[in-house]
Each structure stands twice: as structure tokens, then as C-alpha cells.
Amino acid sequence: MSVIGLGAQELRCSVSINTDKIEGTNKQVFETMKAAIEDYMNNNRWTNMTYAEHEKIECSLLIVVNSAVENMYNCSMTLQSRRPVYGTSYSTPILNLQDGAFNFTYEEYDRIEYQQNQFTTNLTAMLAFYCYLIIGHDQDTYQRLGGSPFFEQCELIVNACQSATMDNLEQKGWRAFEDNRNRYALTNNLMDEAFRKYREFYYTYHRLGLDEMTANMTNARARIAEGLPVLREVYRARPATYLVSTFLDAKNEEIVDIFKKGTAQEKKTVYDVLMDIDPTRQETYDKIN
């Protein structure tokens, strides 16, 4: 595992820890944990790029503690990130994903410290993984395949964690083929050449679609509609892919809002694609029409 160069801090991450499911535990430890995680996410330098204060990536982590036995925490985590749309006050959701195996050991006042090229703890590894995932997705929206260097870092972390010695509970999420919606599966999708078209569409959707809405809404919407069938192409080639799911988890309502005012042909094209790959959200997609 390694940090890519030096530069200004990239993230503005807020952390919440929900402990409603546990009783009789010293709750003060969670205040310390929250502060340590926020410090780690926001004050480490993850790239060699310079970010102005207003350019920092807005994101949040919600950690739900399911159980706590001594220093072992069995948690689930929801990650969200967003980025501003050019010429508007609107921020578009980039990531909205859940990790049901966010398990780690932690002792109050432990320093959460990232060591280059070295596995230290599962918590530091998971947080570093998600920092690079956030930055990689953000960069993919501004430049074609711009997130590749950061997804490569995700892959290095996955590989390091697969070979590290840790508790069985902590190994969950890193294992190959244990789950098609874990950290390994997501990284595998992002690094697979088969998903190149998807990532190129991801750029088109944001940079040539959303960012162009204020200049020419008709053309921008048409570009998104034209590119959207790539999702179906990828889904049919790899029905269990996690990557398409993460896109729709973040974007389903936004897509509906975009195409409510689309042409009849755009509405039909978009609706047909969405219903092919994500029929469980029919009630949401019906609003397009």
C-alpha cells in the first residue's frame, strides 16, 4: 500500500457512529473513535494534486455498530460522496454504497495511522481503501479514466489485506468470491478492461452531461440518453456486476429527474434500459413517464 506523492488534503469527510444496537458499553470510546477516523480521512494526503478549500470532496461515513466484544467491533457502514455540478448550486451524488462487513479491532486512544507499503490494522486499511475509492470516482467524473491511479491503490490494499494475518471477522470484505458486493468485487470490476466503456460513460454522464446542463440542457440530456445503454451492455455481459449497482444506487432518482422533461424517445430508451437492469425500482422509474 502506498500514498501517491504529496499534496493538499482532498476530503471533507463527516463521520457518524450509531450505537443504538449495543448496551452497557462505554460510549465515550465512540467519541474518540469518531474524532480519530475524521482526522485520518481529512488530514492525510492521498494524492499529489492540490485542492483548494472549496474543491475538497464532500463525503460522509455512517458506521452502525452491530456488536462490540472487548476491542472487536462488528459494524456496517454507509458511504456517500458528491460533487458540485458546474454552473449550479446542485451537488450530484457520486457514491452511495454500503459495506456490511466493516469489522475491526480498536482500543480507545489508538492512533489510526497509515503506513506506506505496510499493513497495520484492518480499520486503517478499510479507511484508506475508501479514501482512494472516493477520489478515484471523483476523478473519473472530470477526466476519462482519471480515477485509474487511485483504483490501482485500492487493488494494492485489497491484495495486502488478503495476505495479512487478521481475525476471521476482519477478513470479510476482502476475500475473492465470498460475495459479489464486497471490496474485492468492486475493485475487480473497476480494474477489469471489460468495464472500460462503463467508466467512459461515467465521464460522459458527469462532464458532458450534467456539467453542460446550464449551457444546453437538450444536448446534455441527449448525450446521457445516448450513453445509458452501456449499462445494459455491461450488465448483460456480467449480470452479477457490483459496479452497475453502485451507479444506480447513487443515481436512480437523479436520472428520473433528468428525463421527466426528456423527449418521448429519450424517455422510452432510458426507461427500457433501467427496467432491464434494475426492475426492483420500477416504482421510481415509472415517474419518468
Quick: pLDDT tens for 115-140.
877 889 999 999 999 999 999 999 99
Both 121 and 200 in one domain: the answer is: no
Both 143 and 207 in one domain: the answer is: no
Q: Print pLDDT tens along the chain (289 aa).
A: 433 434 459 999 999 999 999 987 678 999 999 999 999 999 999 999 988 898 999 999 999 999 999 899 999 999 999 999 999 999 999 999 999 999 999 999 888 988 877 889 999 999 999 999 999 999 999 999 999 999 999 999 999 999 999 999 999 999 998 889 999 999 999 999 999 999 999 999 999 999 999 999 999 999 999 999 999 999 999 887 899 999 999 999 999 999 999 999 999 999 999 999 999 999 999 999 9
**3-state DSSP percent of the chain in helix, strand and coil, to 5:** 50, 15, 30
End-to-end CA distance of the chain: 48
Cα angle at 206 between 205 and 208, to 5 degrees?
75
Q: Do 39 and 124 touch, CB atoms closer than 8 A?
A: no
The pLDDT value recorded for residue 265 is 97
The pLDDT value recorded for residue 128 is 97
Point out the domain boundary residue: 129, 150, 171: 150
Q: Do 224 and 273 touch, CB atoms closer than 8 A?
A: no
Both 81 and 206 in one domain: the answer is: no
**Is 114 contained in some domain?**
yes
Both 238 and 131 in one domain: the answer is: no
Spatial separation of the C-alpha atoms in residues 225 and 263, rounded to whole Å: 10
**Is 21 contained in some domain?**
yes
Question: What pTM value is reported for the model?
Answer: 0.95
Spatial separation of the C-alpha atoms in residues 104 and 57, rounded to whole Å: 25
The pLDDT value recorded for residue 8 is 56
Residue 193's alpha-carbon distances to 18, 22, 199, in angstroms, are 38, 43, 10
Q: Do 262 and 225 touch, CB atoms closer than 8 A?
A: yes
Spatial separation of the C-alpha atoms in residues 255 and 227, rounded to whole Å: 13
Both 35 and 131 in one domain: the answer is: yes
Q: Which domain holds residue 41?
A: 11-150
- Identify any residues that bridge with 98 across adjacent strands, giving them in sequence order: 78
Spatial separation of the C-alpha atoms in residues 142 and 145, rounded to whole Å: 9
Both 36 and 119 in one domain: the answer is: yes
Point out the domain boundary residue: 90, 124, 150: 150
The pLDDT value recorded for residue 19 is 96
Both 268 and 137 in one domain: the answer is: no
Spatial separation of the C-alpha atoms in residues 173 and 101, rounded to whole Å: 6
Number of domains in the chain: 2
**Is 90 contained in some domain?**
yes
Point out the domain boundary residue: 132, 150, 168: 150
**Is 259 contained in some domain?**
yes
**Is 3 contained in some domain?**
no
The pLDDT value recorded for residue 12 is 97
Both 122 and 24 in one domain: the answer is: yes
Both 123 and 236 in one domain: the answer is: no
Both 15 and 118 in one domain: the answer is: yes
Both 133 and 252 in one domain: the answer is: no
